[in-house]
Structure 1
Amino acid sequence: MPTPPSDPGVPPPPPGPGVAPPFAAPPTEGSRKRLWLGLGVGALALLICCGGGGAAAVGLVVSNVQAIEEQGQAVTDDYYRALVAKEYGKAYDTLCEDARRRESRGEFTRRVAEEPAVASYRVGDVDPQTLTVPVDVTFSGGGQDTQQVTLAADQQSGGMEVCGVS
């Protein structure tokens, strides 16, 4: 093969096979193991975060229901304890705003004093769906009744209040 004319400004052509390139070639991954490992770790982290959020939401709902039940039983117990002790003002204080609008403190005291006196009671479980509590009441004359107490949430304090007894 003839040699090309040499020009002092033009570099000679590179030599044939086996020559090292002037730059390094990018690395090639033989398998996608590292890619799948990274994706797996990312998916696991996402699952832990979402699963933790879901568990927290379930825990919040459960604790809220338990709080409603505890507060409902406590306010119902306070109401009937005041009736047994004939402390009608304290019983009136457990009533919700709507019940207080329907009946003044004096009217409530007169009405409850004229009814058969409560000798003992047993507060049942709060129904969180309807916010009602069954109460087994024994009167001083010996009679018994199951009364249904309706509860409501106090908008100012966040606690429960008695809103009616039937």
Structure 2
Amino acid sequence: MTLAAGAPSPTDVPPPPPGPGVTPPFAAPPSEGRNARMWLSLGIAGLAAVLCCGAGGTALVGLVITQAESLNEQADTIVGDYFDALAQQRYPDAYKLLCNDLQRGESEAEFAARVSREPRVTSYQVGDVNLTDLTVPADVTYATGGRDRLEITLAQDGSTGQFEVCGISG
């Protein structure tokens, strides 16, 4: 038997596949552990999502607390400046800290005349801002020795954004 040029020789032909019951030449893909890896991956992804959302929630809580502290500082400053001006009889300075509504209802001269007749505040302690109605409690002591707990209503100035005294009730 003669072979044509380029034709495969009988030794180059692969042997026929083995018959039934013969071990395959490669291992079967593993089936155990597949579900465990999937659940482990989902658990890690869930943990990452919780950590990211938790960090965002923590940042939000921190922002709210910081904002409340900032409002308390502003209220303490404005109310303190108002009572300091009254105590030192600097009525024009106290008048400037009033909101526009109160200033429209009473001139600076009328304000000075009214507060000069009232007992003079010698000391005060300002509490925390009630954020729902922007009121601040203040315990005041007068030169006459009397004490009172006042409720100061604050308003925000539309042009400056600063708090202003917009009412005092006792």
Question: Which TM-score tier does this pair reach, normalised by the shorter chain?
Answer: 0.7 to 0.9
* TM-score w.r.t. length of structure 2: 0.73
Q: How far does the alpha carbon of each residue in 1:138-162 deviate from its partner, in whole angstroms, 9 at most, with x for none?
A: 3333433322211123333333221
* Counterpart among 135, 144, 147 of residue 144 in structure 1: 147
The match for 1:93 is 96
Q: Which has the higher contact order (CA 8 A, sep 6+)?
A: 1
Q: How far does the alpha carbon of each residue in 1:4-63 deviate from its partner, in whole angstroms, 9 at most, with x for none?
A: xxxxxxxxxx64535989xx9994543223222221211111011111111111111111
* TM-score w.r.t. length of structure 1: 0.75
Across the aligned residues of Structure 1 and Structure 2, the Cα RMSD in angstroms comes to: 2.9
The match for 1:61 is 64
Tell me how many residue pairs correspond in the alignment.
Answer: 154
CA gap of 1:19–1:137, structure 2 versus 1, over 3 A, is closer
CA gap of 1:116–1:46, structure 2 versus 1, over 3 A, is same
The match for 1:120 is 123
- In structure 1, how many angstroms separate the alpha carbons of the residues matched to 2:42 and 2:145? 73
Letter in 2 for 1:74: T
CA gap of 1:149–1:49, structure 2 versus 1, over 3 A, is same
* 1:16-95 matched pairs, under 5 angstroms: 16-17=18-19, 27-32=29-34, 33-95=36-98
CA gap of 1:136–1:16, structure 2 versus 1, over 3 A, is closer
- Equivalent pairs: percent with the same residue? 47
Which has the larger displacement, 82-91 or 155-164? 155-164
Where does structure 1 lack aligned partners over 5 or more consecutive residues?
1-13
Name the SS for the 1:122 alignment partner: strand
